[in-house]
Structure 1
Amino acid sequence: MQIHNLSEKNSVLNHFLTQIRDVNVHKDSMRFRRNIERIGEIMAYELSKELDYQDLSVQTPLGTKETTEIKEQIILCSILRAGLQLHLGFLNYFDNAENGFVSAYRHHPNNDADFEILVEYQAIADTTNKYLLIIDPMLATGQSILAVYKKLVEKGTPKDIHIAVVIAAPEGIAFLEENLPDNCHLWIAATDEKLNDQSYIVPGLGDAGDLAYGAKL
């Protein structure tokens, strides 16, 4: 698996990351959503540099210009519900992409710290020979992304798989490195310190889904 950590170089991305972490900004859910969306746009631009392109000619009012376009179809697939706003940022740039959605959540059968990942809903097109982009703001243990990956590859064999996360824990990165194939790319906006005893990212930002859309039952 190839890892691309975008915060290793200073850019406006770090400005948006700072705001989504700030507890004072958390009071403004619209601003939080917009910043997640803008992070998605930046990540989409950086990711686009790793795709394959093909030549084409475009007719202008004054002549013909040789240029390029992305060669293969893109499928954006977000993990509900937290991935929706990040998904929108990617869709703003990959506006011809197909779109998929899948649910994955932590189920605590014994009401303690132990959990399993349940994937209960999916809606996605055939992924064969396409670029599959799996989108989720937080990479904690990595178990949700792995479960979603296994479910999605049942729908076909993508040309390449790109996973986009905003904040990642070292434990989750190591888990995906061990369990995902070499043709996967992991795109990270920021890497944090560790997971706590409840497997939440520290310092992190809290629950991205709640901050964007309100608390859930």
Structure 2
Amino acid sequence: MRLHVADHPLITHKLTVLRDRATPSPVFRSLVEELVTLLSYEATREVRTERVDIETPVSPTTGLRIGDPKPLVVPIIRAGLGMLDGFVKLVPSVEVGFVGIRRDESTLQPETYAKRLPEDLSNRQCFVLDPMLATGGSLAATVQFLFDAGAQDVTAICLVAAPEGVHHMEEQFEGRDVKVVLGALDSGLNEHGYIVPGLGDAGDRLYGVAE
């Protein structure tokens, strides 16, 4: 597994506003979209392309376009949905799948309640969107779903992560083609399994508390 922590002042600035508990949901949602677009530049650095001949207003030339089969992006519901527009804005030709995973707050283990993915992901590049890489259970389960369907390489985009979650991913996917792109690597988890300093519950801050 490969880890890339983005190092850019704009990302750090936007993350600082995102972390602030006083930041209201509309601003939070907007910042998440902006951050994902910035992080997606790094995440898609190795996206497959193919050569294409075109005519400019001046002369013929050869360029590159996103190759086939098209990449698949998979937001982990529900908080990952807030990241989808930021990625699709950068790669509008991407196809979209969904995985719904909730964390059991007593065991901190992931529970899958929804999954909509292509049956065959052979030779597909896949991208997973999850704001928080805390214990790593939800992200690892989703990445494994993709590999089980035949995906060859998977890149995850997370806003913030704890070392515990990164370690879990490294252990589970040692020797596999997995890349994790982060906005920040935080100090660790508290006794409730939340990232410190983190940014709170991303789903609640995006969409409010759903009782």
Q: Which TM bucket (shorter chain)? A: over 0.9
RMSD: 1.4
Would you say the 8 A contact 2:42–2:181 is kept in 1? no
Structure 2 partner of 1:4:
4
Structure 2 counterpart of 1:107, which letter? D
Would you say the 8 A contact 1:2–1:182 is kept in 2? no
Structure 2 partner of 1:57:
53
1:131 to 113, 117, 125: 125
TM-score by length of 2: 0.93
The superposition leaves residues 154-200 of structure 1 with CA deviations (integer Å, 9 ceiling, x where unpaired) of 3x212311011110000000110000142001111101011011111
1:171 to 129, 151, 164: 164
The superposition leaves residues 119-164 of structure 1 with CA deviations (integer Å, 9 ceiling, x where unpaired) of 121112232211110110000000111122223333x212311011
Single out whichever of 54-63 and 187-196 deviates more from structure 2: 54-63
Single out whichever of 71-80 and 143-152 deviates more from structure 2: 143-152
What is the CA distance between 1:10 and its match in structure 2?
3.0
Unaligned runs of 5+ in 2: none
SS of the equivalent of 2:79 reads coil
Number of aligned residue pairs: 208
SS of the equivalent of 1:69 reads strand
Single out whichever of 144-153 and 186-195 deviates more from structure 2: 144-153
Match runs of 1:82-161 below 5 Å: 82-108=79-105, 113-125=106-118, 126-154=120-148, 156-161=149-154
- Does residue 201 (structure 1) correspond to residue 199 (structure 2)? The answer is no
What is the CA distance between 1:15 and its match in structure 2?
1.3
- Does residue 189 (structure 1) correspond to residue 189 (structure 2)? The answer is no
Structure 1 partner of 2:20:
22
Identity %: 32
Q: 1: distance between equivalents of 2:21 and 2:192?
A: 20
Unaligned runs of 5+ in 1: none
Q: 1: distance between equivalents of 2:58 and 2:171?
A: 54
Q: Which runs of 4+ in 1 moved over 6 A?
A: none
Match runs of 1:33-72 below 5 Å: 33-72=29-68
Q: 2: distance between equivalents of 1:59 and 1:124?
A: 37
Structure 2 partner of 1:215:
209
Would you say the 8 A contact 1:57–1:64 is kept in 2? yes
Structure 2 counterpart of 1:94, which letter? V
Q: 2: distance between equivalents of 1:16 and 1:58?
A: 38
The superposition leaves residues 38-65 of structure 1 with CA deviations (integer Å, 9 ceiling, x where unpaired) of 1110111122222233221122233222
2:155 to 153, 156, 162: 162
Q: 2: distance between equivalents of 1:165 and 1:40?
A: 8
Q: 2: distance between equivalents of 1:116 and 1:159?
A: 26
Single out whichever of 203-212 and 99-108 deviates more from structure 2: 99-108
Structure 2 counterpart of 1:121, which letter? A
